[in-house]
């Protein structure tokens, strides 16, 4: 049996997992692995160091390699490497969410032209199978809504804040010590990672090309222990949600930001580093998939699954046609100010008669109805914590009301504004 030759670019956590898992598949041979440092010690038993190279272009230009597996992340040099590989007729497996979000359209168009496959299951939700099900089992559905937790680091931080009643800063240090958060956690905690993932996921599920630059993104750094406590009292949990909606006018609303999730909603039960994707459409209704969204073996599971899908399709005239990208429509994306949501607004106000009425009057002036009001005890400086949940309102109106509240003599501070999942 002729073995299918693999070139692996990257031998970090995910790359190491891929090497370990592929040992159980004799039909595949890793011919070459590109690394930054050949002399670095690897936690891989019996690794053949003779196949290591520091030049990844050796892999994409090697005529004997059939499939290039890229797990280095980022756009440079990954974009040029994969473009070169596709031009050389090689199939691609990648876990690179940023590359797909920023350069996916060009790569997919080139792959269609060259009749090569690009598979990327690991780029969206780690070990959770989501792209292949959408392209195959769920292909008969019109998906119109995605709600997802796509980042394990932020979900871990928010879970610990809720369970232990501690600050964001305190939990972040713990997450970094445990290896759940990077030394520079910006990509996770500011929502970039989730935005890259929902850009590609929404493109596939909603059948429209989503522009990463038009996705509203907001991270979790402003979430406080008080927000977690108040949310719980009101019957919610706070989660970083990646959301995509196909509206009745065929416009698309794609965004990433914290949300108050009702305790009865399935996403409220997703804790720790677990990820979850909920799809809604016709005729299937509502489908939820959950599991490990990162890590050596969960991500390697998706990468190796993609490799084997290509291996078992080699020789076909049109390789994996169901998995190819044929999105011709660019999504008309809605600005966040045009969206309608329910809102949680946390306010520090002076403890003076009529202050709640004043807040209600300002909200009413901007066409915002209040669903509930929670006032806590008197604090230092004769102030009180007031938390309101609004009815569904237009974001632009809510922001105008916030601006007016900030300038009101009875309002000391607007502590936070968080959207509420229905």
Would you call 226 exposed, middle or buried from its count of C-beta atoms within 10 A (0-12, 13-18, 19+)? middle
10 Å Cβ neighbour count for 324?
A: 16
CA-based radius of gyration for the chain: 24
Taking the CA atoms of residue 133, residue 139, residue 144 and residue 150 in that order, the dihedral angle to the nearest 10 degrees is 20
Half-sphere exposure of 187 (CA within 13 A, CB side): 14
Packing angle, helices 152-164 and 168-178, rounded to 10: 130
The reply to whether 214 belongs to the active site is no
**Angstrom distance (rounded) from CA 196 to CA 212:** 7
Q: Compute the half-sphere exposure of residue 336: CA atoms within 13 Å on the CB side of its CA.
A: 13
**Closest among 113, 33, 23 to 69, alpha carbons compared:** 33
CA distance 186 to 10: 22
d(CA 254, CA 244): 4
For 10-41, give the DSSP string.
--SHHHHHHHHHHTT-TTEEEEEEE-S-TTS-
Of residues 387, 376, 370, the one with CA closest to residue 351:
376
Number of Cβ atoms within 10 Å of the Cβ of 385: 18
Cβ-contact 410, 352 below 8 angstroms? yes
Asked if residue 150 lies in contact with residue 124, where contact means CB atoms within 8 angstroms, the answer is yes
Tokens 């990672």, located at residue = 193
- Angle between helical axes of 13-22 and 296-311 (0-180°, round to 10): 50
How many angstroms separate the CA atoms of 417 and 223, rounded? 10
What is the Cα–Cα distance from 258 to 8, expressed in whole angstroms? 36
Residue 343 and residue 417 in contact, taking contact as beta carbons nearer than 8 Å: yes
What's the token pair of residue 26? 């004799």
Residue whose pair of structure tokens reads 């160091």 in the numeric block: 49
Among candidate residues 197, 237, 239, 342, the one labeled active-site is 197
Q: Which residues are catalytic?
A: 197
């Amino acid at each position: 049996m002729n073995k299918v030759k693999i070139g692996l670019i990257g031998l970090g956590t995910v790359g190491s997992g891929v090497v370990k898992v592929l040992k159980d598949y004799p039909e595949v041979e890793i011919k070459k692995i590109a690394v930054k440092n050949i002399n670095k010690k690897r936690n891989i038993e019996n690794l053949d160091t003779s196949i290591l190279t520091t030049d990844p272009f050796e892999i994409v230009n090697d005529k004997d390699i059939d499939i290039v597996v890229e797990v280095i992340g980022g756009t440079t040099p990954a974009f040029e490497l994969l473009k070169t590989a596709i031009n050389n007729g090689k199939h691609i497996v990648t876990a690179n969410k940023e590359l797909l979000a920023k350069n996916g359209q060009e790569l997919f168009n080139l792959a269609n032209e060259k009749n090569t496959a690009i598979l990327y299951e690991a780029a969206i939700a780690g070990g959770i199978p989501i792209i292949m099900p959408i392209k195959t089992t769920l292909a008969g559905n019109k998906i119109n809504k995605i709600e997802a937790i796509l980042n394990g680091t932020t979900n871990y931080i928010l879970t610990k804040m809720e369970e232990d009643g501690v600050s964001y800063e305190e939990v972040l240090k713990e997450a970094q010590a445990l290896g759940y958060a990077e030394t520079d956690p910006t990509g996770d905690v500011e929502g970039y990672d989730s935005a890259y993932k929902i850009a590609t996921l929404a493109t596939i599920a909603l059948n429209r090309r989503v522009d990463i630059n038009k996705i509203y993104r907001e991270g979790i750094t402003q979430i406080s222990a008080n927000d977690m406590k108040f949310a719980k009292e009101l019957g919610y949990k706070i989660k970083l949600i990646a959301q995509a909606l196909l509206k009745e006018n065929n416009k698309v609303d794609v965004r990433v930001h914290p949300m108050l999730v009702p305790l009865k909603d399935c996403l409220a039960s997703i804790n720790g580093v677990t990820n979850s994707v909920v799809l809604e459409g016709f005729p299937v209704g509502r489908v939820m998939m959950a599991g490990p969204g990162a890590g050596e073996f969960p991500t390697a599971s998706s990468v190796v699954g993609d490799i084997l899908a290509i291996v078992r399709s080699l020789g076909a005239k049109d390789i994996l046609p169901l998995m190819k990208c044929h999105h011709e429509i660019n999504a008309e994306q809605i600005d966040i100010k045009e969206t309608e949501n329910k809102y949680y607004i946390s306010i520090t106000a002076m403890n003076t008669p009529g202050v709640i009425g004043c807040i209600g009057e300002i909200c009413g002036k901007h066409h915002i109805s209040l669903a509930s009001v929670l006032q806590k005890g008197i604090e230092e400086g004769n102030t009180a914590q007031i938390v309101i949940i609004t009815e569904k309102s237009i974001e632009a109106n809510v922001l105008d009301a916030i601006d007016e509240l900030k300038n009101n003599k009875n309002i000391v501070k607007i502590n936070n504004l968080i959207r509420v999942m229905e």
